[in-house]
Each structure stands twice: as C-alpha cells, then as structure tokens.
Structure 1
C-alpha cells in the first residue's frame, strides 16, 4: 500500500467516503463481521492522465482537461506544478474499487452543498448504477480525534482541495457534452461581448454546468 493510500485511509476513517462502507484494509482496527466490508483504494480527484498538458488527442480526457484549463482558472505553469501534489491527501479520497472506477470515468462527480467545503452532494452524469453511492459526502479527518493519532500528526491530515473537486466536476460535465467545441465557442462569444479579456474560472464553471443542465445549480 502506498503512503498516499495509507494517509487517505487514516483520514477517512478506514472507510469509503462515498458509501461509508468499511474498508477491508483495516489498518490494525478490529473487524466488525456484522458490517459488510469492501475493497477500497486511494482515488485521485485529478488523475495524472487528465493533467497531461501535452496531450493532443481530441477524443481523450486530457483534451477535455485542455478545454477546462484554457478557459478556466489553471495556467500551464499551474498544471505543471500539480505534479508536486498529485499524490497528496489534498488530491485524494478513499472509495470502494467500484465507485473509484466510475468516478475516474466521470460517471459521477461532487457538487457543493452550501458554503462548507467539507460537505458535497453527489451528482450522476449517466444512468450507470453507482453501487452504494450516498446522496452526500462529508470530508473530515476522522482519526484526528484519536489521542495517539493527534500525537503522531498534531496538524492532522489535509482534506480534499475544493478547487480540485470543482474541476473534476467541470471536466465531467464537458466530457458528457455532445459538442464540447460548440459549447466553448458559445461561451467565448457570450463573454467577449461583456469583457474582451479571458473570463475567470469561476464564471466558466458556472456557465458550464448551466449549459449542461439548465436546472442544475452552479458549482
């Protein structure tokens, strides 16, 4: 098990944050045989394959990220710097292997629920069954309340970065558009009339989700 996965398991209380299913990787905790467990894995919110700023394949997830990066808030230098945090707790969460696969495939994402960066609501982008996925995900450093853990890590383990969660959601929405190029053209035309400069990332993401689903609250 990698250090990345160990830190996520510890922070997330040795369970999947999306379903609250206990992990088979107990980390020394006593197993409760009355509660079903599942295989879990440390899941990158923004995986390296998506952060490949050199990718040119128009049909790839990296190309989708290229759209979001160029018309959102990330510069190329910022993307390059993400190499340093790709395997840190800020860019990860513990999920069952089943939910990890569908999250990586952008079948579902997380959208804000209020102004608390710890609380998110799950949002499905396909009709694919998401086994055990709850309506709400709450991030917390569960093990920080354990005395021995507080002594080992007085500052705790960082929670997922809200910006990364928002951009995963943006990529997911772009990936499910029937014509991403048409969307970008409409977006540029609309906001160039208001401001000849490049629109900021928050406006881009808000417009993106509204374009994808007019009834959807902005992210």
Structure 2
C-alpha cells in the first residue's frame, strides 16, 4: 500500500532474508514490532540511522533514545544490510499509527481480544470472535503483525 514496488521483498520466503533482519534486544524488538521505535536514515551517511521513538515526546522511556548507529556491513557483503525501503515504510506506518491514534485503537482491540480468553462469547454478536481467532492464530504461529 505504501510502496508496492517492495512487495516482492516481503512476500513468501523472502521475508526471512537478511535484508529484512535486525539484531535487537528483546525489548527493542517488541518496541520496533509495535511501531513505537523507528530507524530514520542519516543524510549522506550510508547505512547510518537515527533510532528514536516514533512518539518523540513520550514520557516513559525504557531506552535513552535517540541514538545514531551505523549498521555493520560485512567486507565481502555476503550478508545484505537491512533494506532502507523497508525501514522507511516501517517508520511511515509508525508515524501514521501515532498521528492518527490508530495504534491506540488497535491496542484496545487486542486488549478486548485478550479479555475474551476464557470468557463468554456474547450471544448478541458483540464479541469480536473472528478478530480474536486471527489474533490467537497469529500468536501461535509467532507472527508479530496481523493483517
């Protein structure tokens, strides 16, 4: 949707290529997966990024961000660096979620689904059972994003 030319980079088994890999701590991986942290390219410096919270004025910060990091590139380039296009799309999605407050809505939907766990399904049809099933299947398969 944001850049159809990169669809082939994340389709099928290509999603697991090194250009789509980042080595992050568990907590930073969670923040990145939740679109709370993004990588912004530093101008005129190849493979160098400012890593910062998407919501730059957030009160609670588990990491001292922003920081600038140059990504390690192997001399023979046998491991591709992360795709700048995918990092930029990720950053754009994070900004949209933050600025539109859609992220908060998504968090509420997920919390509602978690509250369904072991709880009753309402006979009036108000339970989001389809969304809950998608969420639980994605959790079981280890997916961090549900589309």
**1:74 is aligned to 2:39:** no
1:108-146 CA deviation, whole Å, 9 max, x = no partner?
1011111333101022123242335551121113xx46x
TM-score, scaled relative to structure 1: 0.39
Higher relative contact order (CA 8 A, sep 6+): 1
TM-score, scaled relative to structure 2: 0.57
Q: CA RMSD in A?
A: 2.4
Identify the residue that residue 21 of structure 1 maps to in structure 2.
none
Provide the rounded CA distance (Å) in 2 between the counterparts of 1:125 and 1:160: 19
Q: Name the count of aligned residue pairs.
A: 98
**Higher helix content, 1 or 2:** 2
Provide the rounded CA distance (Å) in 1 between the counterparts of 2:82 and 2:9: 17
Provide the rounded CA distance (Å) in 2 between the counterparts of 1:155 and 1:122: 23
Provide the rounded CA distance (Å) in 1 between the counterparts of 2:99 and 2:65: 23
The 8 Å contact of residues 109 and 124 in structure 1, kept in 2 or not, is answered as yes
Identify the residue that residue 169 of structure 1 maps to in structure 2.
91
Alignment of 1:121-140 (within 5 A): 121-126=50-55, 127=58, 128-131=60-63, 133=65, 135-140=67-72
Identify the residue that residue 109 of structure 2 maps to in structure 1.
none
Change in 2 beyond 3 A, CA 1:93/1:81: closer
Provide the rounded CA distance (Å) in 1 between the counterparts of 2:96 and 2:28: 20
- The alpha carbon displacement at 1:103 in A equals 0.8
Runs of 4+ residues over 4 Å off in structure 1: none
Provide the rounded CA distance (Å) in 2 between the counterparts of 1:139 and 1:155: 12
Change in 2 beyond 3 A, CA 1:80/1:155: closer
